[in-house]
Structure 1
Amino acid sequence: MIKKFKFFYVLLLFIFINNDLYSFDKKGNASFISEIKTGVVAHDVGFFGRQKEEGLDSTFEFLFKKIDYNLLWLGKPRPHFGATVNMGGDTSQAYAGVTWDYKLPKRMFFNFSWGLTYHNGNKIHSPDNVITDKKELGSSILFREAAEIGWNFYGKDSISLRFDHISNANLWGEDANEGLDTFGIVYSYRF
Structure 2
Amino acid sequence: MAHIRILLLASVAASVILGADIAAAGPLIDELKLGVLWHDVPGLWSGFQAEPNSADINVEALLSPSVAFLGGTIRPAIGGSISTVGATSDGYIDARWQYETPSGIFFGLGLGAAVHNGQLKLEDWDRKALGSRVLFHIPAEVGYRFDDHNSLSVYFEHMSNAYTVSPNEGMDRLGVRYGYRF
- Report the TM range for the smaller structure's normalisation: 0.7 to 0.9
Tell me whether 1:78 sits opposite 2:71 in the alignment: no
Tell me whether 1:51 sits opposite 2:69 in the alignment: no
Tell me whether 1:185 sits opposite 2:168 in the alignment: no
Give, in whole Å, the separation in 2 of the partners of 1:131 and 1:36.
35
Tell me whether 1:157 sits opposite 2:153 in the alignment: no
**Letter in structure 1 aligned against 2:51:** E
Question: 1:182: Cα distance to partner?
Answer: 0.1
**Letter in structure 2 aligned against 1:9:** L
Quick check: which has more Rg, 1 or 2?
Answer: 1
Structure 2 contact 96–108 (Cα < 8 Å) conserved: yes
**Letter in structure 2 aligned against 1:93:** D
Question: 1:133: Cα distance to partner?
Answer: 1.1
Once the two structures are superposed, what CA deviation does each residue of 1:7-30 show, in whole Å capped at 9, x if it has no partner? Answer: 5324532553369x83225xxx93
Give, in whole Å, the separation in 2 of the partners of 1:179 and 1:83.
16
The structure-2 alpha-carbon separation of the partners of 1:95 and 1:10, relative to structure 1 and needing over 3 Å to count, comes to closer
1:17 alignment partner in structure 2:
17
Structure 2 contact 15–32 (Cα < 8 Å) conserved: no
Higher normalized strand content (fraction of residues): 2
Structure 1 contact 23–31 (Cα < 8 Å) conserved: no
The structure-2 alpha-carbon separation of the partners of 1:43 and 1:171, relative to structure 1 and needing over 3 Å to count, comes to same
Unaligned runs of 5+ residues in structure 2 are none
Structure 1 residue ranges (4+ consecutive) displaced by more than 6 angstroms after TM superposition: none
Give, in whole Å, the separation in 2 of the partners of 1:162 and 1:18.
23
Tell me whether 1:148 sits opposite 2:141 in the alignment: yes
The percentage of counterpart residues that share the same residue type is: 34
2:60 alignment partner in structure 1:
61
Equivalent residue for 1:107, pick from 86, 104, 109: 104
Question: 1:76: Cα distance to partner?
Answer: 4.9
Tell me whether 1:96 sits opposite 2:96 in the alignment: no
Equivalent residue for 2:33, pick from 28, 34, 37: 37
Alignment RMSD: 2.4
**Letter in structure 2 aligned against 1:106:** S
Unaligned runs of 5+ residues in structure 1 are none
Once the two structures are superposed, what CA deviation does each residue of 1:91-132 show, in whole Å capped at 9, x if it has no partner? Answer: 00000011101113521000111100000001112xxxx422
Q: TM-score, normalised by structure 2?
A: 0.87
Give, in whole Å, the separation in 1 of the partners of 2:79 and 2:15.
13
**Letter in structure 2 aligned against 1:57:** D
For the residue of structure 2 that corresponds to 1:90, the secondary structure is coil
Give, in whole Å, the separation in 2 of the partners of 1:172 and 1:16.
36
Structure 2 contact 4–116 (Cα < 8 Å) conserved: no
For the residue of structure 1 that corresponds to 2:23, the secondary structure is coil
Count of residue correspondences: 178
Structure 1 contact 42–184 (Cα < 8 Å) conserved: yes
Give, in whole Å, the separation in 2 of the partners of 1:160 and 1:142.
24
